[in-house]
Structure 1
Amino acid sequence: MENILSQEEIDALLSGLESGKIDTTPEKPEEGKVKPFDFRNFAISTRLKIPGIDVINDALARALRLSFSTMLREMVDMINIPTQMERFRDFLNKIPVPTSIHIFKLEPLKGNSLLIIDAPLVFVFVERFLGGGERKIVKVEGREFTPIEQKLIKRVVDMIFLELEKAWKNVYPVKPKYIRGEVNPQFARVLQPEETVLVTGFNLEMETISGKILFCYSLSSLQPIKDKLYSPYQIEEVIDSKWRRSLEQIILNSEVSLRALLGKGKITLGDLIHLKEGDVILLEKKSEEPIEIQVEDTPKMQGKMGVFKRHLAIQIEKFVTFQEE
């Protein structure tokens, strides 16, 4: 409360401004404090909203959440990381050593991309593949992945690429092609240091450990399909062909009630009581008029009465349209 001006101080301040006693001229910057701006070396770190990338990430997160939970035998949560644009060199400088780095291409697009898996996640996958249960704290710094660990983590990478290809189908069909794996980011300089890249991915969270899975795409390689990436997309789920055929078979084998309505008529209750064999009931339809065929009590077809192989039958002449229903 000590920094609040009293009414007398406020009046004195306003009076000084009106009389000119208080100088309101902005101060000039002191010499030596203004720094030149280098347009070639400035850092980029901007969050982006790209509808196409969001569609891909949403589909990929759903698929990987289920696959990782099955693979690790525990519930895994996948949290989307906002898409960012930055310099390739700045991105590499933030990657620790060791890290599971995998270089790949999105054919038919040009240029290379990176898949980054944090080292703690690598050790969790390797431990579960080898039958381990209780998670142990592994010292990450100062060591590299063994050939066995690299071979086992390649199984995870192949699974990620399989789901990545399915997720991209909603936007643009691509085929991830694996090139090589690295541990040190200094050997993963597959793009120019000043090249702009899109960085997106997920934060994978488990009960006692978490880590990131990142994708680094070259902005120039995505340039030919930028119209598709920035267009509003409807998420189209990939339908399993076997499931679709099975569902179609069940629907086609479903039984429905079918009846033909010869006509309608009205009589009094007294006439109904006195009916006997040989009496005739007049219907509201002539004999030459088409007969209405109902499916589950809904008019669907029209036909004419006849005989087929000594059985009473109806020959379909017309299907009833929605307006006629």
Structure 2
Amino acid sequence: MADVLSQSQIDELLRSMNDEKTEPHKEMQNKKAETVEKDYSKYDFYSPRKFTKDKMKILTSIFENYARIITSQVNGIFRVMTDITVIEVQECRYYEFVNSLNENSSVTLTDVFVEEHNKNLVPLMLYISPGMVITLIDHMLGGSSEAVKVEEGYRYSDVETALYKKISSHLVQALKDGFSNYLNAEFKTQRIEENPSMIQDVGLDETVAIIHFNVDLAGLAVERIKICMPGTLLEYMFRLIDNRKHIARGYAYEDNREKIFENIRHSSLPVTGQLGRVGLELSDIYHLKVGDVIDMNKPKDSEVKLFVGKQSWFSGTMGIYKKNVAVRINRRFYGEDEKRSEETKPLEEVQEVSD
């Protein structure tokens, strides 16, 4: 016999079914709210952005090229299979860069020299994580192929500091090639600072660009490289890049003939004088002796053709100027409608003679 449910039991069943339907809906809403909060990036209106997205894209392009260069250099020089990539190019305040390092972190200060600028610019800063440095030093000294893991606050010994300067110098020199597509600049190591909080070249609230690199050491370890570029240095570099863009656009106009001619005006070209041409058989040349005369089939006072390269440009008369053999130009016929006969061709274009 079937059980008969009371009205209170029926109400209880309906209430439980409604609760089961509403709980998944609430969970979905909470997940959506969490994803929105994660994707949302906060903007600090007290420190507005100083560089546009286009400028940051240029900087990203420069350091992506730089990452490819130092990857090949590290692989070739230190015999370590690495893959160096750009993680992020971030604009922030300088104190954020200092706070991300330890008191024992070594930072390489690098001077930047640009041809158009005579004064010293604010140096950029290069930081290499200790794990990468010790691994490369281990390979330099003939160690194993394994990656060496060290603590974040590792302090280098005197020998390791000297080798650290050698490693950082390779990374500093590669900066020139990284910037070569946009700017002609020289980068030289100024000094190694073992306490980044003591660097006073940049104010703590100054805007800087921090470039984060990921270094994969043969799949055995992941290390970091950071480059900090002060805002004043970036402003000057971007100004030079923008000026060169405007100059490059100027060459697209039709009135650049004088500029092109000015660039090639001092080019050196060979000039050859040719009195005439004659063809001799090989047997005749073989029997030539001192004092023999070759008939040029031209009178002695005939004009001499002058060739610039392999093209005839002028004709003139032979003579002497300050005890030197000279040619006085009588006329110029390059560019005029003149039939090029065989006698106007230079000597090196003479066809082979028959046997």
Instruction: Give the counterpart of 1:214 among 190, 201, 226.
Output: 226
Which residue of structure 1 aligns with residue 89 of structure 2?
83
Give 1:135 shift: 2.9
Give 1:189 shift: 4.0
Which residue of structure 2 aligns with residue 164 of structure 1?
175
For residues 229 and 202 of structure 1, do their structure 2 counterparts lie closer, same or farther at Cα, with a shift above 3 Å needed?
farther
Gaps of 5+ in 2: 1-19, 26-42, 115-119, 246-338
Asked if 1:122 corresponds to 2:141, the answer is no
Letter in 2 for 1:2: K
Instruction: Give the counterpart of 1:67 among 73, 86, 105.
Output: 73
Give 1:174 shift: 1.5
For residues 73 and 55 of structure 1, do their structure 2 counterparts lie closer, same or farther at Cα, with a shift above 3 Å needed?
same
Asked if 1:93 corresponds to 2:99, the answer is yes
For residues 230 and 134 of structure 1, do their structure 2 counterparts lie closer, same or farther at Cα, with a shift above 3 Å needed?
same
For residues 44 and 95 of structure 1, do their structure 2 counterparts lie closer, same or farther at Cα, with a shift above 3 Å needed?
farther
Alpha-carbon distance in structure 2 between the residues aligned to 1:5 and 1:204:
43
Which residue of structure 1 aligns with residue 198 of structure 2?
187
The TM-score, its normalising length taken from structure 2, stands at 0.52
> Quick check: 1:43–1:87 contact (8 Å CA) kept in 2?
no
- What percent of counterpart residues are identical? 19
Alpha-carbon distance in structure 1 between the residues aligned to 2:183 and 2:51:
24
Instruction: Give the counterpart of 1:200 among 205, 211, 218.
Output: 211
SS of the counterpart of 2:21? coil
**Structure 1, 87-96 or 103-112: larger mean CA deviation:** 103-112
Instruction: Give the counterpart of 2:236 among 192, 203, 224.
Output: 224
For residues 47 and 38 of structure 1, do their structure 2 counterparts lie closer, same or farther at Cα, with a shift above 3 Å needed?
closer
Alpha-carbon distance in structure 2 between the residues aligned to 1:205 and 1:59:
17
SS of the counterpart of 1:160? helix
Question: Displaced runs of 4+ in structure 1, greater than 6 A?
Answer: 43-47, 230-233
Letter in 2 for 1:176: F
> Quick check: 2:110–2:125 contact (8 Å CA) kept in 1?
yes
SS of the counterpart of 1:155? helix
Which residue of structure 1 aligns with residue 21 of structure 2?
2
Letter in 2 for 1:220: T
Give 1:175 shift: 1.5
Which residue of structure 2 aligns with residue 175 of structure 1?
186
> Quick check: 1:52–1:230 contact (8 Å CA) kept in 2?
no
Alpha-carbon distance in structure 2 between the residues aligned to 1:124 and 1:47:
38
Alpha-carbon distance in structure 1 between the residues aligned to 2:73 and 2:107:
20
Alpha-carbon distance in structure 1 between the residues aligned to 2:235 and 2:221:
37
For residues 88 and 133 of structure 1, do their structure 2 counterparts lie closer, same or farther at Cα, with a shift above 3 Å needed?
same
Letter in 1 for 2:214: N
Asked if 1:146 corresponds to 2:165, the answer is no
Letter in 1 for 2:233: S
Alpha-carbon distance in structure 1 between the residues aligned to 2:230 and 2:104:
23
Structure number with greater CO (CA < 8 Å, separation at least 6) is: 1
Which residue of structure 1 aligns with residue 313 of structure 2?
none
SS of the counterpart of 1:110? coil
For residues 227 and 85 of structure 1, do their structure 2 counterparts lie closer, same or farther at Cα, with a shift above 3 Å needed?
same
For residues 2 and 187 of structure 1, do their structure 2 counterparts lie closer, same or farther at Cα, with a shift above 3 Å needed?
same
User: How many matched pairs?
Assistant: 214
For residues 45 and 153 of structure 1, do their structure 2 counterparts lie closer, same or farther at Cα, with a shift above 3 Å needed?
farther
Give 1:119 shift: 1.0
Calculate the aligned-residue CA RMSD, in Å.
3.8
Alpha-carbon distance in structure 2 between the residues aligned to 1:98 and 1:190:
19
> Quick check: 1:98–1:140 contact (8 Å CA) kept in 2?
no
Gaps of 5+ in 1: 7-36, 234-301, 315-325
> What does residue range 258-269 of structure 1 map to in structure 2 within 5 Å?
none
> Quick check: 2:110–2:172 contact (8 Å CA) kept in 1?
no
Letter in 1 for 2:209: L
Asked if 1:106 corresponds to 2:106, the answer is no
Letter in 2 for 1:208: L
> Quick check: 1:44–1:87 contact (8 Å CA) kept in 2?
no
Alpha-carbon distance in structure 1 between the residues aligned to 2:87 and 2:24:
46
For residues 192 and 135 of structure 1, do their structure 2 counterparts lie closer, same or farther at Cα, with a shift above 3 Å needed?
same
Alpha-carbon distance in structure 2 between the residues aligned to 1:111 and 1:158:
18
Give 1:201 shift: 4.0
Alpha-carbon distance in structure 1 between the residues aligned to 2:343 and 2:49:
81
Give 1:187 shift: 2.2
